[in-house]
Structure 1
């Protein structure tokens, strides 16, 4: 039989009364009732092995955890007590309660702006006001009144047309008018390339279009080329080819008074002096037949022409002469500074043709939007019916213009051409007229570069304000509905408010 051990690990001998006596506590509980102690002693003596096994198992259970920790320490070569102490003193890592909401990062406090233009905006002359103002440096919207609603723009549309032309055509593009041999002996074809600036005045004469080409130059080229071939018979027939532009010459939504009052010509690929009666006057009566007038002027220069008819140039015909328009950059300057409608329509139609969307009024929307796409501003909701803005059916939100003018002010790409062509309050173009930024509003002279707009159903203004506090703002103001001539002054007064407030402009 194997020796047993007691709780202290000392060897004992089974049945030793002395061992049983020594295991009693020195200050145990009071004496048991008579007979109970003897019975327990007898039981213990008889079942000493079972009790020893039970006690040992209990000791092992109590010491199990410590033994594991001690063993780990011993295996590592260090004292067990150090490992236990370290475990006891370690700080548990808290576990996040997934049910408890975690506070978001603190939102920076917004600046409280205190400069109000509420009284200026309440002017009844503004009719149905839509407006937006943006800090050009930060992109923050400082002021908004229906700024995301697409509405008619009047001549502010010319800014979009110009931006599309710079993207699709480029600033150096020129439209070219050519003359080629006709299919019949003694005939030539005058082929319109969309240049509305071509002038019937003598070379060296300054028209409303600086840098315009002249018919007498084209005639000299044709005569020289024709006479250089002795086999050519005398010239006697002129064919007019204006097929580059198609569809209606007059947009159905336009008021014909625009033509009668001298603000707009029919849209044709062949015309001279924008079809003006007076080539030196921005506003001058226009005819219902600009193609015919251009043909008459060229035939008069050539001499000997007895027949003039409409047609198209033969494929592969020999070229006899060519002259080109001013550059797109020069044309944009003219379109913006005095709001030349005919130039704007020329640019819009050439954009559509170059973009591949067509050559009619119906092709302008897709062509211009394609030209605007590279600027990265959402064009959702925009409708472009024409290039000039004469139609009430155009629709552009003020918010598009404020964002486009941020890029124009920064001269992104070729957009600096537009910035340089804008009227300036009290100094240049349509904002320098006596009825603009006058009186108290003259405090903003030189500080506002913007495109003006006017049709019977609204006045508009959009551009850049270099504010009094040194900030730069972009803005768009639409006054739509029942408006009158003095609505222009109400718009100027509101814009002067933007100038005075600067970055402290309140949206209240």
Structure 2
């Protein structure tokens, strides 16, 4: 594996080249740059492969933007529409995660604290339990899938250690670090029920989803529906499913109206078949506090009150007050781990939480009333500030979210190339390795686990981020040539009418051709 080289080595190579030119000129010699035949051959080979690929019949009318760069020399091996603007889909996550690593550091961790605001007498808390959110997306997340409630159960243990067996007041969720806008600008309304469009919030539990299973029974009967965590009654499920014969087609159909937590399930399922889907909830703060209350009851801690949002309180909590006492804290995995999940799984909610975290932790200075702390707009300004430091022309970039789910994002291949170069050459090894390792490996893991397989030249070699919306496909990252020369590549395709797997096949053909280059 070729890891990102240091900026010092590249800089020194360039300095030596410049010094040699000065010495030759000083000696009275006439120096004329000669084209490198190896580079010329590589460019010709790549140009033919790419041109033949993108001009094939399935992609007629599609709009391609491509740039390939030798990261050792900085030479552009190929460019096509490199300065045009494209909708990049989830390639936006490259910008978000790079900015988060640079601004927060790979070792950054979220902290979610649990407080009580009253005295404890005879095991009874005469007050409220308050959870102070920080935007952490990991509670009940990927590393806790076997038991999403494990953090809540630890908090129950902490309450017992504090001598609390009953809470006389409410469970209050403080989501105030983030703005109250739950969805990204320009997101499609029909994405809302599905996990990839989960609501953004200062408090997150189980990625703000429920995990539903629909299992067929005997033909003609409704299917059996269950969901986790806890088959919580925070949601209501209308079972309009049917078990159909095995010789007929099955399908999945879910609907959740805006502003409601009622799911209509109209799936058709075969006998014994199980369909699984993660579905979003609305009002994540109430979901968080509601499930926390259910867990506390299961763990033997009674709660007289209910779960509420801090916005329902007439006076916000004063965490410095003498009556306020912290009884538990959850610290997230490191940002290095969170960024890896974001890019490996193309996890939209994680990316959106990171974007808004950039609008809370050391946010950019602003006097604009529209750029509020914790907002996506202020977060995108922070991302652009980091891009500007990487010498990206931010006047020709439009960002409205952190995940790429919106079609209002516009980025050029040139901007993405410069970011990839910057994260390879210009940043420290800790940041560079965290970014590089966050990208899935072709044929092995993440969103490109099933691509670049069966001995493909780029198998186990390419590290890249995918991006997919209807009629939009992207693949950008790093690959090494046969002799280990590191290349960056950006392949964006907009307005295609081909099947998604056909566009991916074209991208894979291009990347495999890069991996086959001899130098």
Q: Same fold (TM over 0.5)?
A: yes
Q: Which one of the candidate residues 512, 516, 519 is aligned to 1:496?
A: 512
Deviations 1:322-344 (CA, angstroms, capped at 9, x unpaired): 11111100001101111111111
Aligned-pair CA distance for 1:461 = 0.3
Number of matched residues? 390
Alpha carbons 2:180, 2:201 under 8 Å: kept: no
Matched residue SS, 2:162: helix
Aligned-pair CA distance for 1:449 = 0.9
Q: What CA distance in whole angstroms lies between the structure 1 residues aligned with 2:146 and 2:464? A: 21
Q: What CA distance in whole angstroms lies between the structure 1 residues aligned with 2:130 and 2:147? A: 26
Distance 1:500 1:135, change over 3 A: same
RMSD: 3.0
Q: What CA distance in whole angstroms lies between the structure 2 residues aligned with 1:283 and 1:411? A: 41
Alpha carbons 1:154, 1:389 under 8 Å: kept: yes
Q: What CA distance in whole angstroms lies between the structure 2 residues aligned with 1:239 and 1:212? A: 17
Specify every segment of 5 or more residues in structure 1 that has no aligned partner in the other structure, as ranges.
Answer: 1-102, 504-508
Counterpart for residue 171 of structure 2: 238
Aligned-pair CA distance for 1:247 = 3.7
Indicate yes or no: 2:412 matched with 1:397. yes
Aligned-pair CA distance for 1:398 = 1.1
Aligned-pair CA distance for 1:125 = 4.1
Alignment of 1:356-371 (within 5 A): 356-357=363-364, 358-371=373-386
Distance 1:468 1:210, change over 3 A: farther
Counterpart for residue 444 of structure 1: 458
Indicate yes or no: 2:27 matched with 1:108. no
Q: Name the one with the larger helix percent.
A: 1
Aligned-pair CA distance for 1:234 = 4.2
Deviations 1:405-452 (CA, angstroms, capped at 9, x unpaired): 23434583212101112111111211112xx2357x823212211111
Counterpart for residue 215 of structure 1: 152
Aligned-pair CA distance for 1:479 = 0.9
Q: Which one of the candidate residues 150, 170, 177 is aligned to 2:112?
A: 177
Specify every segment of 5 or more residues in structure 2 that has no aligned partner in the other structure, as ranges.
Answer: 1-28, 120-125, 212-227, 230-274, 297-301, 311-315, 365-372
Indicate yes or no: 2:318 matched with 1:314. yes
Counterpart for residue 296 of structure 1: 290
Indicate yes or no: 2:256 matched with 1:256. no
Matched residue SS, 2:97: helix
Q: What CA distance in whole angstroms lies between the structure 2 residues aligned with 1:181 and 1:124? A: 66
Alignment of 1:184-223 (within 5 A): 185-199=126-140, 206-208=143-145, 214-223=151-160
Q: What CA distance in whole angstroms lies between the structure 2 residues aligned with 1:419 and 1:480? A: 26
Alpha carbons 2:197, 2:280 under 8 Å: kept: yes
Matched residue SS, 2:463: strand
Q: What CA distance in whole angstroms lies between the structure 2 residues aligned with 1:179 and 1:423? A: 35
The normalised TM-score by structure 1 is 0.70
Q: What CA distance in whole angstroms lies between the structure 1 residues aligned with 2:358 and 2:468? A: 24
Greater alpha carbon shift after TM alignment, 363-372 vs 239-248 = 363-372
Alignment of 1:52-63 (within 5 A): none
Distance 1:327 1:120, change over 3 A: same
Alpha carbons 2:290, 2:306 under 8 Å: kept: no
Deviations 1:13-43 (CA, angstroms, capped at 9, x unpaired): xxxxxxxxxxxxxxxxxxxxxxxxxxxxxxx
Q: Which has the higher contact order (CA 8 A, sep 6+)?
A: 2
Greater alpha carbon shift after TM alignment, 266-275 vs 393-402 = 393-402
Q: What CA distance in whole angstroms lies between the structure 2 residues aligned with 1:163 and 1:365? A: 12
Aligned-pair CA distance for 1:490 = 1.8
Alpha carbons 1:218, 1:321 under 8 Å: kept: yes
